[in-house]
Amino acid sequence: MKMIREHHLRDLHWLPLPPGSFHGCLLLALCIGTALCACGADDHGLALTPPMGWNSWNRFRLNISDAVVRKQAGAMVKSGMKAAGYEYVVIDGGWEGYHDAQGLFRPNKLKFPDMKELCDYIHSLGLKVGIHTTPGPVTCSGREGSYGYEEEDARTFARWGIDLVKYDWCSGETAYKPTEITAAYEKMHQALLRAGRPILYSLCEYGLDDVWKWGASVGGHMWRTTDDISDEYWNVTYIGFEQNGLEKYAGPGHWNDPDMLEIGNGGMTDEEYRTQMSLWCILAAPLFAGNDLENMNAATLGILTNPEVISIDQDPAGIQGHRVWQEGPREVWMKPLKDGSKAVGLFNRLEYPLMITVNWRELGLRAPGTVRDLWARKDLGTFTTGFTGSVAAHGVVLINVK
């Protein structure tokens, strides 16, 4: 969210230690990229699969209040989204008031009269609460940020019962040098640890300074890899397909975040929304809906809650998928799954239907493959050398291959 500024743990190699060695008390690991140390002493076991929830920004912008958030939280439960795995209700920019004389962050009282009571209500629904702030002096919409109040704000968030902090760079460049961005995020990380509550730490800095290389080292459970998303096919696909190559930095406890879902906001067709959902799930991306949950139609709800598609995103192996083949507007992406099968997306980036073929050898398969269509939720049969599907304009065929 920006308004001011436009603009592995998967592969661990354990070191053998002789019995009785004075080093025996240490768990040593060499991690891919800058992934978290396997000790995981301060991550509280959070985000072992990509986080799922709802964020207020895409649909409501600054027009949020206690009443709006309560209604959206209730709709998350009533609609079946909670049952599908969505659990975080994130209050993005627009809640902020000011820091008082004691340094306590006060919400805008007209919009959020009692943040602690609101958090208690959301928790009573079996959901979790997220909140937005910035390492800079002001947020992206010009409201007070956490600069100089990191310790106080972390304690306040813990006292309210906050479960996720989205730390948005916003005006960070006015308070920190370009070389200090990592230190700015580490400062809030340490403050959150001292606050004593397990809080998922979401870094929002638009991919600056290759955040995927250092995000985990400052306690990040997820980090934005891109500029802000918009409800347009060209933007969603540009962001999504540009994630290729970042898969080595993702895994249980730390995820690349290509920003929120635009599904249901009206700027794209249902076929295009299925493309975003499919690609985000292959990417093992956090799934944060950004629509009006109270007023979504059956198609939107079906896209957001398809259990077979979500299971690809939430696969416990935690492997981010990647592109295995491209020819012009045709792309094939693959995500290995814990049970040995593979999720495969056939994407058509043209404005008319295309036939797309994937050969099993491109997926590292030599035997015949049994194919299931995950959007249609039906078995398609066994195919000897590969699979060919008719893919709608700007659409996707998402299959599971065993």
Q: Is the pTM of this model over 0.95?
A: no
The answer on 387 and 301 residing in a single domain is no
- Domain co-membership, 340 together with 300: no
Write the pLDDT tens digit of every residue in 79-94: 999 999 999 999 999 9
- When mean pLDDT is compared across 35-49, 254-268, 384-398, the lowest value belongs to 35-49
Q: Does a structural domain hold residue 14?
A: no
Q: Are residues 208 and 134 in the same domain?
A: yes
Whole-number pLDDT of residue 312: 98
Domain residue limits at 332: 322-401
Average pLDDT of the chain?
A: 91
Do 285 and 178 lie in one domain? The reply is: yes
Q: Is 197 helix (H, G, I), strand (E, B) or coil?
A: coil
**How far apart (Å, rounded) are the C-alpha atoms in residues 80 and 27?**
41
Q: Are residues 279 and 376 in the same domain?
A: no
CATH of the domain at 335: 2.60.40.1180
191: domain CATH number is 3.20.20.70
At 380, is the secondary structure helix, strand, or coil? strand
Gap between the terminal Cα atoms of the chain:
40
Domain total of the chain: 2
Q: For residues 168 and 262, state if they share a domain.
A: yes
As a whole number, mean pLDDT of residues 2-24 equals 38
Q: At 32, is the pLDDT very low, low, confident or very high (cuts 50, 70, 90)?
A: very low
Q: Which of 291, 313, 335 is the last residue of a domain?
A: 313
Q: How confident is the model at residue 200 (pLDDT cuts 50, 70, 90)?
A: very high
**The pLDDT value given to residue 40:** 40
Q: Do residues 210 and 189 share a domain?
A: yes
CB-based burial label for 302 (10 Å; 0-12, 13-18, 19+): middle
Backbone angles phi, psi at 359, to 5 degrees: -95, 140
What per-residue confidence (pLDDT) applies to 373?
A: 98
Domain edge (last residue) among 287, 313, 339 = 313
Residue 111 lies in a domain: yes
Within a domain: 354? yes
Q: Give the H/E segment covering residue 346.
A: strand 342-348
Instruction: Point out the residues that are catalytic.
Output: 168, 228
The pLDDT of residue 12 is above 60: no
Is the domain of 134 the same as that of 282?
Answer: yes
pLDDT average, residue stretch 48-71: 98
126 and 178 share one domain: yes
